[in-house]
Chains A and B, each alone.
Chain A
């Protein structure tokens, strides 16, 4: 990325040589991103990130009935809610206690006026992998566009947009160790999508705005590394994640793993700790250098517990003690040991403060 900031700073829309240099850098990156998800290069449109990709997919589809799930990322959820306010009809599909959409629920929700199904590939909070291939078949039979938010899954599990049967697929660079502020929407050849950014007609009239060349170049490099390392890295990450969960369950009583019985991303672990509050756990771990997140209402400005934990049937009290660990190819066995050494003490300290907890 650095030479693109300092030397090759041409505008890819310009026909002079340094503009064309930038264009060729974008083309290289587009090939890498396409390869990562088995798309054609012409099917990749660079955007500012996962949120824009989701907005583009949902808002760009013609007006009509939309089917989505209750566990979507805010980028899809809030976009659908906004369209609802504008008079669109939206069906919100629930999920099982393990956080998985039933394809039959999607099939049953389809109406003649349905124009879009938007179901995420893998959930960002609990990591559950949705039956995208099955839903893809249902969408194709009904001749309805199918969008999947693949921000969380890309780079963690193999993604083949042809096999999945999606028409639209969102990805984000920073979720695969690329730079922030860049992402892409896969638009299957032949899919009609109205641009949400209008202007100079960049990205073959699909997304106007001068290309973020350094970001795109970084995205391309990250996509190549993700593709090359995927099977090896993620097998190792899954072993680490499984060890983290097995040992936590052994060492700390009264904890539960969300989505435990579902197919999950190899890097995500969402646990609930009884008699301890999530934000307090996050701060305790943060003070020791461990960065995790929580679905507890106490950590959100809205004071609402996570909509994902609510959708899998957890009460606000249960969501109160939730923690999400996200591992990556850069997580080491020592990192897991460090967390395992820390957690029992952190949890028991907070539990000792609780008026409800009685040591057994």
Chain B
């Protein structure tokens, strides 16, 4: 599979990796079929996401899209963050085949799950 340079950059130099010890919410999502997993920590201030960090175990696309989405999340309004779609994330990183979007883009589900209580 030919990945875009941007995706490979996010895979090799992922942004926002880590954990937030005093996070306001943590969520974990996984793909039961292939086993990829993403864990997302957020700090919320008012109606905005103040900070976000992630960890992931999965293919290069899973890691890159998780990193990209986590980075994008910081500073976003909670209501807007909930609207982020898998396709949008994949598109921003140069696009992915349909099957790969379904299995590797865990971030949109993680975002909705972590923001459930807000």
Seen from chain A, the residues whose Cβ lies within 8 Å of a Cβ on chain B are 275-277, 279-280, 283-284, 287, 296-299, 301, 303, 316-317, 320, 350, 352-357
Contact with A along B42-86 (1 / 0, CB 8 A): 000000000000011111101100000000000000000000000
Pair B99/A301 contact, Cβ less than 8 Å: yes
Q: Are A354 and B55 in contact (CB under 8 A)?
A: yes
Q: Is the CB of B57 within 8 A of A275?
A: yes
Please tell me if the beta carbons of B103 and A356 are within 8 angstroms of each other in the complex: no
Of the candidates A277, A284, A357, the one whose C-beta lies within 8 Å of that of B58 is A277
B20 interface contact, C-beta 8 A: no
Expressed in whole angstroms, the Cα–Cα distance for A283 and B11 within the complex equals: 9
Contacts of B55 in A (CB 8 A): 353-355
Which 4 A/B pairs are nearest by Cβ-Cβ distance? A279-B59, A298-B59, A355-B39, A355-B55
Given contact pairs A280-B62, A283-B8, A298-B34, a sample of 8 additional A-B residue pairs in the complex whose CB atoms are under 8 Å apart? A277-B35, A280-B11, A283-B11, A284-B60, A296-B59, A301-B99, A303-B33, A353-B55
Q: How large is the interface on B (under 10, 10 to 19, 20 to 34, 35 or more residues)?
A: 20 to 34
Residues of chain B contacted by A287 (CB below 8 angstroms): 8, 12
A-B pair number, CB within 8 angstroms: 73
Kindly list chain A residues whose C-beta atoms are within 8 Å of the C-beta of B93. Answer: none
The distance from the CB of B54 to the nearest CB of chain A, in whole angstroms, is 8
A353 in contact with B14 (CB, 8 Å):
yes
12 A-B pairs in the complex with CB atoms less than 8 angstroms apart: A277-B35, A277-B58, A283-B59, A298-B36, A298-B103, A301-B99, A303-B99, A317-B35, A353-B63, A355-B39, A356-B37, A357-B57
B57, A277: Cβ atoms closer than 8 Å: yes
Q: Does B25 contact A (CB under 8 A)?
A: no
Q: Please tell me which one of the listed residues B8, B33, B37, B103 contacts residue A355 in the complex, with CB atoms under 8 A apart.
A: B37
CB-CB under 8 A from B99, the residues of chain A are 301, 303
Does B108 have its Cβ within 8 Å of any Cβ on chain A? no
B17 within 8 A of A: yes
- The answer on a CB contact under 8 Å between A316 and B57 is no
Given contacts A277-B36, A298-B62, contact A353 B103 (CB under 8 A): no
Q: In the complex, what distance in Å separates the CA atom of A353 from the CA atom of B34?
A: 17
Smallest CB separation, A167 vs chain B (Å) = 40
- Write the nearest CB–CB distance from A288 to chain B, whole angstroms: 10
CA distance A99 to B58 in the complex (A): 26
Q: Is the CB of A283 within 8 A of B60?
A: yes
